[in-house]
Amino acid sequence: MTSPKRSMRKPRARGLVMKQLPVDQRAGYVTELTFMTGTNVNSKVIATNVTTVGAYASNKEYWYTAQNASGSSVALTTSTSTYTEAQLDTFRGRLPAAFTWTQNIGTGGWTQGTYTPTTGRTNKLYKAPDPDQSGVYIGMLTEQETSTNKLLRTVWYKTSNTGKIWATNPASLTFTQVLNQAGAPSTDPNDIQATTWYYAVSP
């Protein structure tokens, strides 16, 4: 397995930007996120925070995807620790890379409104309780290759532009597919709740 190439870009100064995923400011700590569909791995993410670990550069999210993993609900679990490069490689396993995303996208990386999904892809919108606010939801839209269900893009939705999807990584979170009033799958966040939405789009 080939590790991701090293990035020579210096991370942004701490404290000057907001985050798309929250950044653990402790040196040496990296976050692992696992998305499961039933008993199958849907995707995995390595978020490096302020730490470079071998070929995994700081301020990056490395997204990896499993093929043929799709369903009406997605369960997320997270863990943050002082992982070694070998441990991160083991966590990734044989999953192919989907995309790499900058962790610090800032409030300017979020757009008010509704994202238009890419045509020719399988697009699904999921919702979960917002870990930051009771009674409020967040959204996660996935774009997948139609023939294999390989993850191609992730779009986060939040009802306030804090610059990050949640303030602190939840230990676990369950996303369920969004349906419209007719009971059909929907990619419109207003079918989660009618309110002002902000979205952030991965590469």
User: 117 with 88, same domain?
Assistant: no
Higher pLDDT, 106 or 184: 184
Residue 152, in any domain of the structure: yes
Greater model confidence, 71 or 57: 57
The answer on pLDDT for 1 being more than 60 is no
Q: Which pLDDT tens digit goes with each residue over 119-135?
A: 999 999 999 999 999 99
State how many domains the chain has. Answer: 2
- Give the residue from 106, 135, 154 where a domain finishes: 106
pLDDT at 106: 85
Please state the length of the chain. 203
If one counts every other C-beta atom within 10 angstroms of the C-beta of residue 116, the result is: 8
* Domain limit, last residue, from 106, 140, 162: 106
- What pLDDT does residue 121 have? 96
pLDDT over threshold 50, residue 98:
yes
Q: Rounded mean pLDDT of 169-198?
A: 97
* Cβ atoms of residues 169 and 78 within 8 Å: yes
Regarding whether 136 and 64 lie in a shared domain, the answer is no
- Gyration radius of the chain over CA positions: 16
Nearest by Cα to 159 from 133, 188, 186: 133
**Mean pLDDT of all residues belonging to the chain:** 90
**Beta strands, E only, 50-177:** 60-65, 73-81, 97-102, 111-112, 122-129, 137-144, 151-158, 172-177
76-90 per-position pLDDT tens digit: 999 999 999 999 999
Last residue of a domain, one of 40, 73, 106: 106
Distances, alpha carbon 57 to alpha carbons 4, 35, 89, in Å = 9, 22, 14
61 within a domain of the structure (yes/no): yes
Average pLDDT in the 41-70 region? 93
**Mean pLDDT in residue range 127-151:** 95
Residues 47 and 117 in one domain: no
Question: Does any domain span residue 75?
Answer: yes
pLDDT computed for residue 30 by the predictor = 97
Place of tokens 């040496």: 28
Query: Do the Cβ atoms of 10 and 50 come closer than 8 Å?
Result: no
Strand order in the sheet with 122-129: 97-102, 60-65, 40-47, 30-37, 73-81, 172-177, 122-129, 137-144, 151-158, 198-201, 111-112
Q: Are residues 131 and 186 in the same domain?
A: yes
Residue 89 pLDDT: 98
Both 193 and 115 in one domain: the answer is: yes
- Tell me, what amino acid is at 40? N
**Alpha-carbon 9 to chain mean position:** 22
Per-residue pLDDT at 10: 37
**pLDDT given for residue 9 in this prediction:** 38
Residue 55 and residue 95 in one domain: yes
Q: What amino acid is encoded at 51 in this protein?
A: T
Q: Please give the pLDDT value at position 91.
A: 98
Residue 188 domain-assigned?
yes
Lowest mean pLDDT among 68-72, 136-140, 189-193, 195-199: 68-72
3-55 tens-digit pLDDT: 444 433 333 333 333 457 888 889 999 999 999 999 999 999 999 999 999 99
Q: Is the overall model pTM greater than 0.75, yes or no?
A: yes
Q: Domain residues for 172? A: 108-201
Report the pLDDT value the prediction gives residue 19, as an integer from 0 to 100.
54
